[in-house]
Amino acid sequence: MDDMGWGDLGVFGEPNKETPNLDQMAAEGMLFPDFYSANPLCSPSRAALLSGRLPIRNGFYTNNMPGRNAYTPQNIVGGIPDYEILLPELLQQNGYRNKIIGKWHLGHQPHYHPLKHGFDEWFGSPNCHFGPYDDKTTPNIPIYRDAYMIGRYFEDFVIDIKTGESNLTQMYIKEATDFIEKQSKTGQPFFLYWAVDATHEPLYASSSFLGTSRRGLYGDAVRELDYGVGQILMALWTFGIAKNTFVFFSSDNGAATYAKTQGGSNGPFLCGKQTTFEGGSREPSIAFWPSHIKSGQISFQTGSLMDLFSTLLDLSNISLPADRPIDGISLKDVLLNGKTIERPIFYYRGDLLMAVRVGQYKAHLWTWSNSWSEFKNGSGVDFCPGENVVEVTTHDQKNHTLQPLLFDLGADPGEKYVIKPTSPVYQKHMPSIISIVKEHLANLVPGVPQLNLCDDAVMNWAPPGCEKLGRCLPIPKSNPSKCDWPH
């Protein structure tokens, strides 16, 4: 999902109980309350999921300014490097047919596209559905069928900004079920990456779901996506492959709390998307595999979306790349045997290691919510609306590396109560956490940052396929410059 929060599912306590299919999926599978993305923002999170590596390693970060988030808007020059080995590439080499439906967000220039990186099919877009634009100063985002553009958001694929009505999610559902039907008939193993985006602003839902939620348009989008998950699972049963198909549900980052009622819920967790507090990267996660994963389980394994890289390769009997560090771990024993594996979780914001979790304890090396320039002294964007933890949710970067802030996420999931450095708990756990941080940083070799340069000339003026449609736009002169990342 895109910007869906931990607290958006009924099974995680959302009081309106509007996600019956996902709640049933959890009842019949394994629920992960302690599962994380590798970054609190879309593009780096997705790069980490598909590469099994932290964004600081795969290049999906910026070092234009320390500790700043970055992603892939239309004018970004970079994208997923060719030297990164993605999950679909390894699956493809071993006989799988792979399809991505929805948002790619790992670079929009043609050499970065999904079909160049292990996918056989694509229906969706390279960027987020921002707009509408005027196709003169800024082009609308293209929608692709495989390697070629077939139209643009707000022009050919309509999202009504006033009402929120759009049929896109229904298109994405049909693409998924048709692909499952086709693959079930061929018998060829497949990997389906359903990366839908209706819970990202501008929100949308089809006519049959508009106005049906007690949560407004955001809830309408969640209800339709829940329906989509139900249709996908039903297709697996209908075509007789449910017991031989591993399914995992999650989100790319925490809910966009700055959108207030137009965004999701992160449950009891502090702040949301963009931050390295729990609300930024703790994700609603469910594993489902009838006849393999016992129903009704809850695992307190501290997991990461990067683990899907290692886990799916392990389940497919495919070896991990041996020439690079892989941050994801295999959860095979967790899924099939109910085991738990000790491992740290590293929270990065751009090039800066902000925090680390070991067991149920989390140490913040740096804290802040968002910059004063973005917050605008109370009149602008706020990543922690209605929340204030003194000296923690600040608009200046606070350096705690000499004496990290420690929280007990078991007793204090909202990160509201700092454990005193003089306490026995702090003195017991902090030395081992610091040792883990030092080892991690000592062995870290950052990748070449891909999110530093912006240039209007690389925008979606003339995507592949525009010639056939007669929809190519004139490309402006190249003028690259450093991107400005206020967050």
Where does the pLDDT of residue 377 fall: very low under 50, low under 70, confident under 90, or very high at 90 and above? low
Give the residue among 293, 292, 297, 273 at the shortest CA–CA distance from 283: 273
Rg (CA), the chain: 21
**pTM (two decimals):** 0.97
Amino acid making up residue 300: F
- Is 440 one of the annotated active-site residues of the chain? no
Could you report the per-residue pLDDT of 44-56, keeping only the tens digit for each? 999 999 999 999 9
- Is 454 one of the annotated active-site residues of the chain? no
Name which of 279-288, 305-314, 375-384 the model is least confident about.
375-384
Which residues have C-beta within 8 Å of that of residue 402, sequence separation ≥ 6?
none
* pLDDT of 93 above 80: yes
* pLDDT of 378 above 70: no
Residue 29 burial (C-beta neighbours within 10 Å; 0-12, 13-18, 19+): buried
Q: Quick one: pLDDT at residue 371?
A: 87
User: What is the three-class DSSP state of 308?
Assistant: helix
* pLDDT of 22 above 80: yes
* pLDDT of 317 above 70: yes
Q: Which of 42, 128, 271, 454 is catalytic?
A: 42
Could you report the per-residue pLDDT of 245-270, keeping only the tens digit for each? 999 999 999 999 999 999 999 999 99
Which residues have C-beta within 8 Å of that of residue 442, sequence separation ≥ 6?
none
Percent with pLDDT over 90 in the chain: 95
**Residue 269 CA to its chain's centroid (Å):** 17
Where does the pLDDT of residue 359 fall: very low under 50, low under 70, confident under 90, or very high at 90 and above? very high
Q: Which of 105, 117, 395, 429 is catalytic?
A: 105
Could you report the per-residue pLDDT of 444-473, keeping only the tens digit for each? 999 999 999 999 999 999 999 999 999 999
CA distance 347 to 335: 24
Q: Structure tokens of 304? A: 């990461």
The continuous run of DSSP H or E covering 247 comes out as strand 247-249
